[in-house]
């Protein structure tokens, strides 16, 4: 940048600043009241009390749709993790160290839980991913498998997982 350009830019900035300082006080908002009216509030009679603002009633926060669905599912069934035999049967199916109560949370039945667990193991898809797609996104299990692994035969994998799950659950109930 040359000296002439720098001097021109500096002069322009100083000129704009000076113009703002000179014109600023003369610009007045049209709706502004006179200073005397704003500085002195109107006197209220002594015998009349000013009404107090009404307090707004507070409402309890509404639960979200997802929370309502989860609460309804939990109230409708006994969680599959409550069955110690099913826990023992599905422990090798899930990852080592998996928390069975967290894994089974949200499923409507022990068979649905076992089906997703077997499908996850058979297809090598993470269990939590299949669980999320089935429970939270509302996908059928075959669509969840197809979304995760396009080259898998989803219908065959679901049928295989259902058969394994039925044998696990029937061993518990009988």
Tens digit of each residue's pLDDT (9 = 90 or more) over 16-35: 888 887 777 777 665 555 55
Q: How much is the pTM?
A: 0.52
CA separation, residue 54 to residues 51, 57 (Å): 9, 9
Which residues lie closer than 8 Å to 79 by C-beta, 6 or more apart? 101, 104, 105, 107
C-alpha dihedral (48, 49, 50, 54), degrees to nearest 10: -130
CA distance between the termini of the chain: 90
Q: What is the DSSP letter of 132?
A: I
Taking Cα atoms as reference points, which of 158, 138, 137 lies closest to residue 149?
A: 158
pLDDT in tens, 69-123: 554 444 444 445 456 777 777 777 877 777 777 877 788 888 888 898 899 888 9
- Alpha-carbon gap, residue 145 to 120, rounded angstroms: 9
């Amino acid at each position: 940048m040359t000296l002439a350009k720098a001097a021109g830019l500096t002069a322009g900035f100083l000129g704009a600043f000076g113009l703002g300082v000179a014109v600023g006080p003369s610009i007045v908002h049209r709706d502004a009241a006179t200073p005397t009216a704003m500085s002195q509030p109107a006197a209220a009679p002594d015998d009349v009390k000013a009404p107090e603002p009404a307090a707004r009633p507070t409402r309890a926060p509404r639960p979200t749709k997802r929370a309502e669905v989860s609460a309804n599912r939990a109230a409708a069934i006994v969680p599959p993790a409550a069955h110690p035999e099913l826990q023992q049967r599905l422990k090798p199916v899930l990852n080592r160290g998996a928390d069975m109560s967290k894994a089974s949370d949200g499923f409507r039945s022990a068979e649905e839980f076992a089906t997703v667990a077997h499908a996850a193991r058979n297809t090598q898809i993470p269990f939590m991913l299949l669980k999320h797609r089935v429970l939270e996104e509302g996908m059928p299990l075959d669509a969840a498998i197809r979304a995760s692994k396009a080259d898998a035969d989803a219908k065959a994998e679901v049928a295989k997982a259902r058969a394994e799950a039925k044998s696990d659950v029937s061993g518990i109930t009988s």
